[in-house]
Amino acid sequence: MTTKFKNIKDSTSEDWKAIDQSYYELRDQLPNRLIETLRQLDTIQGALPVSRLEHSLQAATRARRDNKSDEYVFTALFHDIGSYFTHVNHAEISAAMIRPYVSEDLHWMILHHEIFQSYHYFDKIGLDKNARDQFVSHRLYEATVEFCEKYDAPSWDAAYDSLRLEEFYDLVDSVTKNKRR
């Protein structure tokens, strides 16, 4: 059923039953839309050693090979998805996109990873690399340092044997299935 109102003020409770029903069907398409958006990161490389898709696959592959949880691997896979839409505040977009599916801790980590990651290169572009110090007493400081150190920073290696995107389909499906909302 397609509802017919022209102004939302005129919508009926029957309309909203139908809209609610269709929402569940649309929600089931979300994992696929996340994957297809991630795939577009293959078009973003510029002068970087690998594309942002390859970077994401490497980060997720390293996390999986370290036996991190599925939710952590999912987080690593999508940590830069926001860079498809914006650069300077990509962490905010990535964090917002994964928020329905991951813990508050993983969400915080991705929301702040851009600041923590800058520790590894901001001094080379004349900026303050120690901006992460403002969070030094935060309980997730060490976890975010670890994410950047082990999974984000090293994942620009053109020779790394990363898993293909297809190999993460089941993981994306299971992580999003449990918590879709």
The residues binding Fe ion (CB under 5 A) are 80, 152
Query: Minimum distance between the CB of residue 110 and Fe ion, rounded to whole angstroms?
Result: 8
From the list 40, 71, 63, 34, the residue with the least C-alpha distance to 53 is 40
Which of 71/80 has CB closer to Fe ion? Answer: 80
Burial string for 81-111 (b: 16+ CB within 10 Å, else e) reads bbbbeeeeebbebbbebbbebbeeebbbbbb
Which of 71/152 has CB closer to Fe ion? Answer: 152
Which of 56/176 has CB closer to Fe ion? Answer: 56
Query: Minimum distance between the CB of residue 17 and Fe ion, rounded to whole angstroms?
Result: 41
From the list 58, 90, 15, 44, the residue with the least C-alpha distance to 156 is 58
Q: How far is CA 123 from the centre of its chain?
A: 26
Query: Minimum distance between the CB of residue 15 and Fe ion, rounded to whole angstroms?
Result: 41
Which of 62/175 has CB closer to Fe ion? Answer: 62
Q: How far is CA 112 from the centre of its chain?
A: 12
Residue positions counted in the chain: 181
Which of 54/80 has CB closer to Fe ion? Answer: 80
Query: Minimum distance between the CB of residue 76 and Fe ion, rounded to whole angstroms?
Result: 9
Query: Minimum distance between the CB of residue 38 and Fe ion, rounded to whole angstroms?
Result: 12
Query: Minimum distance between the CB of residue 52 and Fe ion, rounded to whole angstroms?
Result: 8
Q: Please, is 156 exposed, middle or buried when counting C-beta atoms within 10 Å of its C-beta (0-12, 13-18, 19+)?
A: middle
Give the relative orientation of helices 169-179 and 70-78 as an angle to the nearest 10 degrees.
110
Which of 101/147 has CB closer to Fe ion? Answer: 147
